[in-house]
Amino acid sequence: MSEEEINLEFLETLLPDTKEAESKKVYLKTLDWALKNEDIKNLAITGTYGSGKSSILKTFWNKYEKKDKVLEISAATFSGEKELTQDSPEIEDAVDNSNDNIIGENVLEQHIMQQMFYKVKPEKIPLSRFTRIHNKDTWETFWDTLLILFSVLLVYFSIKNNWLNMLFTPGSNENTNSTNIFIFSILFLIGISLISFAIFRAIKIAKNFRLSTLGIGSTTFELKGDKDNTVFNKYLDEIIYFFSQTGINIVVFEDLDRFNNLNIFERLRGLNHILNQSEELKGENIVFVYALKDDIFSKEDHFKEVQNRTKFFDFIIPTVKIMHSSNSESVLLTKLKNYIESEDTSIHQDRLSKKLITDVSLFISDMRILKNICNEYIIYRSALKQSGIQQDKLFAIIVYKNIYPKDFSDLLNGEGHLNSLFSLKEKIISIHKEEYERELEELEKVLSFVEKDTVDSLDGLVITYLRKMGYLDLNYSIELAREVYPVSDSISMANFLRKLLALSSNEPKLIIHTRSYNPPSFNFKDFCTANGTSPDILTRARAILIKEDDEIPSFENQIKELKKNIVELKTSSFSEVIRKSNDFSIEEHLKEKDLLKVLILQGWIGEDYDEYITYFYEGAMFKEDINFLKSVRLNNPLGFDYKLKNKNEVQKKLSNEHFNNSAILNYELLSFLLSATEGELGQKRRYLIEYISEDLSANFSFISGFLEISNELLSGEVKVLIQELSEVNEDLWEKIQESFNSRDQEVSFFLRLFLTNTPSMMNRLNGSGSLNLFIEQSRDFLTWWTEIELDSDEIEKMKLNLEALEVRFADLEYVEGSSDIIKVIIDNNFYEINGSVLSTLLNEFNSINYGVILNHHSDTLKNRVEVEIEKFISEILLTKSSYSEEENTFLRLLNHEDIDKELKIELLKIWDGTIDNLNEVDRTDLYPNILGLNKIKLSWPNIEDYYDNLNGEEELAVLRKFITIQSNIDELIKDTKNLDVYEVKDECLQKVIELVIYSKAFSDSEFGDLLSQINIEITIPNPSKVSVNKYEMLIYTEVLAWQESTAEYLNEKHPELAIKYFKLKKDELADEDLEHLINKSLLPWDKNIYVYLNEKENHDLAFNYLMSFEENQFLEKLEEIECDSQLFVEILRDEQLLLETKFKMVNAIKKFGILFNPEISDWLLNKLKEEGFENILNSLDKKIVEEGLLKSLEKEEDISFVLSGCIEVYLYNKKKVYSILGGLPEPFSLLIIPGKRNIEFKYSAISMKFLNQLVNEEIIASVLPKEEYLSVNNKSKIRY
């Protein structure tokens, strides 16, 4: 790539920015003040990472006048963070674990000293023990080598020639010796000097070639030691020497906070203190400047830790972060302004979108990273500008590379989080597709029930299932959850099914209440399937509710949307797939990688990432084709829809043995082979078809996928594929049928199979009947052909194929424009007799009946129905809750000889019409059913026809129920006006009226209206069953015949009606009848009846009538008829009347206005004598005896008898006796005169007894019997 290809002016270094911006001025001034303050020895500049601490310092030093006095030490130049941290392996391997912290800090101190000593020239610190390698010129090296060599030779020859002995051994010639000594001394000194200098140079050179020491020069640093022996402490003299020689008084420490080691700061502070206190550095103000993050001294906001921070430093300069997520967007927009779409231009793949910048900027808060992203983007953009890639995706990859470099590196090797995430795409798509297809299947199933079910009401559905179970009777009821639902009530039946739907999860038991003692109960599943004979009633019920709520369009739209989603899945990007997924969580795969999540979810990074990070060099074959050929040979499938560039070149490099693994399955390759002519390509096509056929279930997804991407139902390629699959697989349909993922997929494949193959091939493929079964069970068969234009030849082919498969449709959905196919089905009997299929074939929904069949133009259809008439009835007519039929047509069914009686009865139950004339029905045994179901017009002729054919009480009960239906009551009253015209038999009329009389259904007014039109007398066999109101109307209308049983009932229960009844019929009764009624007490009491009887010549009737009530308010009745003294005496003398009643009469004599007369007194006196005083007087009122009986008696003997009994029974005292005696005639009244003597009483034993009684009671003084009378003497004084 040439320099001109890159916009170099847009590239930026990653070094700190040293431009003196306005935002830095406050920091520069503060720093300058702090450095001039001699009290500040430890100065900190704090801020978060990226806040510009280094930029501030660099800018300050650039303008600082004494910059040569500043030493900058950065931890970023250390050999490695891992090496220096306390957790590094080197430290962990230390022998004494207690020294780990010391070792880590010593390493830091070592590196600090290295930077100190290496940043000054050796000449400035010549006495330092820390020496360094420095460059020598050639001559210097030459002279060093020569000197060393000379020194070595000198030593060698001195030893060899024994020059030293010669120098110190005295000789014979003193002059010579002196001269020699002098010369050799001079030479010795020179040699020693040269040798010493050579040794010095050799040692110096050797020191620069050390290999195994850790340190500077010849000095090594001991990392291990006791806790007080630190590097700073050990080499403190070197450090002091360094500062004294260099004049440096400001040391800047950067990035030390990266190691999270606080002890190093304590050591540096201690070192600073020692330096400033050193006599050798007196006058120098040595300042340590630290660039640190804010939280280096505290991980938590505890007061003590925060306090340590402020105690450690003498002054702290805080910095505000230059860039963070809130302003990184504006920074990016500025730096990339030449590459970002403008406001007035449309989105283009060669420009970056602002939305991407916004998404990315939220997660970038570091200026260096941002700069590097921009730099790399510009470089990559230039390098790949001929690739036609989208800039948004390229930029996203660059961001990913900088934020997650490790994962990016793994991605290039086919590993890492992103790679593993993209590898899940097909699995997620598969899961989505299964969910869509499962939901689609459910919706289509519901919609299928909605469209095919001929029963359109909830109550009708229940009736249908009850009929199939043999429990359909309008008198029955169903108990569910303690609620009872009558079968006869359609609303109740609908509510029952709704309740069953609500309780379906609990599977409740049901009880059908019949006439039997133990009603049958059914478990939930048996009822819902009619003992396994029908589809689930709940599914059908839901379908009905969907129709009622008009939700069909909504269901159809949902189905279309699901199909669309399935098609779009394969072309969806990874981000679209994830967004559609409710179950897949990207969170699990990208924990703590929020930016990467955004890049993926927003589609900025996709599975085509490799196009943005690699070059591609075109060769003889395309990369895609080469990859495919490799995958075939490695049996590593790339996917059915993998794109091939040159399919012909690809097939050339495929031989027979390559068609034996799943990697060969490719849509484009198959399409190419199918479109080719026979020959070598045809043979390869057959190899591929045979491989597919080896495991159709496993390879079905490939077949279905290929068919889905075909634009036409029967393209040339599709026909070839279907034909060859059919030839290779006799059981093609059976093998592949279970693999279909949706109904549409199944139908589409069948149509291709059906329209491609001949009848003989279809028969061969049918095998055990799988194709036949599929067609027969497909009620949407007609729908399949709506978008296919069939010519006459294709219609004929359809007929032949259906005939070869022996198809008999049991259910079909009607579709407009399918008349040609329907004609084929009808004319060739390709159907079963049932409501669903016939409704479709006849286009008569919910109204199909026998009349529709008879009026149809197809004789084939008519004959078919006549042959299977009972099936037609059971499968069609009886599946409805009700159905309409013309009367004549319905009579034709009732009189049909081939229809069973039970089916006719079931028809009667649901027919919504009525029969005008009962005699038009041939079978009289159907009469009870017709009347019982109210299917006959109510008329007297129909009633008479029914009555004439009556057979038992049950059928009579049917008639009673029929005539008491409310609507029939009105008709009966109305039609009764025509009785004279009909000439109905009296027997029939009597029986009907009798049933009406017994019924409670007729209101009083209706009953009265009916009776008003009856001209015969009505007898009542069972009087107790008739209500009082009806008796009143019967009597009032004078149609009630005389019956002793009726009179007896009325007399017992309703006496007032009995009186009216008698008065109505009295003239019809002879005296004997009257006497019979009186003797049996069948006549209630009524004064008028008494008067009527009393007026009869036979007066005994009245007396007997009266006496028949002796125990039932007899006295009141006497008072009512104004009883006279004659009748009174007559009654007293009647032997039948109870004596007690007679006494009651006597006690009540004043009420009758009757005075005691001799006849009454004699009767009463005789009873006293007969029964005795005690029995009689206790039953009589005292006043009656005292004021009535005593005063009415004339004989002294009778008075004495009665008064004696009264004193004895009533226990009168003297006063009472005197009072009674005073009211009696003489001589009784004389007994109360004091001192009265010789009072004469006629002599009699009774009188004698009475007077003696008075003597005993001390009422009189004495009684003396004389010859003819009794003489009584009174007491002189009366004492009470």
* DSSP per-residue string spanning 1129-1176: HHHHH-SSS-HHHHHHHHHTTTTTT----HHHHHHHHHHHHHH-HHHH
pLDDT band at 245 (very low <50, low <70, confident <90, very high): confident
Q: How many residues does the chain have?
A: 1280
Sign of torsion over alpha carbons 863, 864, 865, 871: positive
- For residue range 886-895, what is the model confidence (pLDDT) as tens digits? 999 999 999 9
pLDDT score recorded for residue 325: 59
What whole-number distance in Å separates Cα of residue 1089 and Cα of residue 1061?
12
Question: In this structure, are residues 632 and 661 in contact, taking their beta carbons and an 8 Å threshold?
Answer: yes
Whether 840 and 832 have beta carbons less than 8 Å apart is answered as: no
Mean of pLDDT over the chain: 77
* 346: pLDDT strictly greater than 70: no
Which range has the top average pLDDT, 165-169, 235-239, 452-456, 551-555? 235-239
Question: In this predicted structure, what is the pLDDT of residue 1089?
Answer: 73
| Residue 1127 C-alpha from the chain's centroid | 95
Strands 315-318 and 477-480: unpaired
Give the C-alpha separation, 1274 to 1160, whole Å.
33
Instruction: Identify the CA nearest to 39 among candidates 253, 287, 274, 316.
Output: 287
Q: What are phi and psi of 659, to 5 degrees?
A: -95, 55
What does the alpha-carbon distance between residue 564 and residue 436 come to, in Å, rounded to a whole number?
10
Look at residue 418 in the predicted model and tell me its pLDDT: 76
Return the closest-CA partner of residue 81 out of 232, 269, 261, 262. 261
Return the pLDDT at 900: 93
CB 883 within 8 A of CB 911: yes
The amino acid at 822: I
Nearest CA to 106 among 229, 272, 230?
Answer: 230
Q: What is the mean pLDDT of the segment spanning 744-769?
A: 87
pLDDT for the residue numbered 559: 77
Question: Each residue of 371-406: pLDDT tens digit?
Answer: 788 887 777 777 766 555 678 888 888 888 888 888
pLDDT of residue 87: 36
Question: Residue 281 and residue 277: Cα distance in Å, rounded?
Answer: 8
Which of 844, 846, 838 has the alpha carbon at shortest distance from 882? 846
DSSP, res 610: G
Torsion angle of C-alpha atoms 947, 949, 953, 958, degrees rounded to 10 = -60
Confidence check: pLDDT of 1119 > 90 = no
SS (H, E, C) 203-254: HHHHHCCCCCCCEECCEECCCCCCCCCCHHHHCHHHHHHHHHHHCCCEEEEE
φ, ψ of residue 936 in degrees (nearest 5): -130, 145
- 291 beta partners: 45, 254
**Virtual torsion, Cα 877, 878, 884, 890, nearest 10 deg:** 80
With cut-offs at 50, 70 and 90, classify the pLDDT of residue 907. very high
Return the exposure string of 602-631: e unless at least 16 CB atoms fall within 10 Å of the residue's CB, then b. Answer: bbbbbeebebbbeeeeeeebbeebeebbeb
Residue 751 is encoded by which pair of tokens? 């149509």
Comparing CA positions, the residue from 324, 326, 328, 332 lying closest to residue 395 is 332
Q: What is the pLDDT of residue 1011?
A: 83
The whole-angstrom separation of Cα 185 and Cα 182 is 5
Mean pLDDT (whole number) for 84-93:
34
Mean pLDDT score, 792-807? 90
> Which residue has better confidence, 521 or 608?
521
Residue 173 pLDDT > 70: no
Task: Return d(Cα 673, Cα 680) in angstroms, integer.
Answer: 10
Alpha helices in 366-481 (DSSP H): 367-383, 391-403, 405-412, 416-422, 425-452, 458-469
Task: Specify the higher pLDDT residue, 816 or 1174.
Answer: 816
Rounded CA-CA distance 1040/1017 in Å is: 5
More confident residue, 967 or 561: 967
Question: What mean pLDDT is predicted for residues 1043-1069?
Answer: 80
Average pLDDT (1197-1222) is 83
- Element of type H or E holding 1107: helix 1100-1107
Q: Mean pLDDT, to the nearest integer, of 1142-1165?
A: 78
672 in Cβ contact with 648 (< 8 Å): yes
Indicate the pTM of the whole model: 0.41
Distance CA 37, CA 313 (A): 14
Locus of tokens 């939280």: 295
Looking at per-residue pLDDT, the higher value among 774 and 6 belongs to 774
pLDDT in tens, 659-697: 888 889 988 888 888 887 666 677 888 888 888 888 888
Runs of H (alpha helix) within 1178-1256: 1182-1183, 1190-1192, 1196-1210, 1214-1222, 1245-1256
Quickly count helices (H) and strands (E) in the chain: 67, 14
Q: What is the pLDDT of residue 917?
A: 93
Which residues are CB-contacts of 971 (< 8 A; sequence separation ≥ 6)?
937, 938, 939
Quote the pLDDT of residue 1099: 64
CA separation for the pair 974, 963 (Å, rounded): 13
Do the Cβ atoms of 637 and 663 come closer than 8 Å? yes
Give me the pLDDT at residue 90, please.
Answer: 34
Per-residue CA distances from 1253 to 340, 1189, 1261 (Å): 154, 20, 11
Contacts 24+ apart (CB under 8 A), 796-803: 797/755, 797/759, 798/754, 798/824, 799/824, 799/828, 800/759, 801/754, 801/757, 801/759, 801/762, 802/775, 802/828, 802/830, 803/759, 803/828, 803/830
Report the candidate in 326, 421, 323, 433 with the shortest Cα–Cα distance to residue 369.
Answer: 323
Q: Please answer whether residues 726 and 757 qualify as being in contact, where contact means their C-beta atoms are separated by less than 8 angstroms.
A: yes
State pLDDT tens for residues 430-456. Answer: 777 778 778 777 777 777 667 666 677
Give the separation between CA 1103 and CA 1246, rounded to whole angstroms.
38
Region 1020-1031 average pLDDT: 85
- pLDDT for residue 211 is more than 50: no
Which of 275-284, 545-554, 1234-1243 has the least mean pLDDT? 545-554
Cβ–Cβ contacts within 10 Å for residue 1033, how many?
21
DSSP-based three-state secondary structure for 288: strand
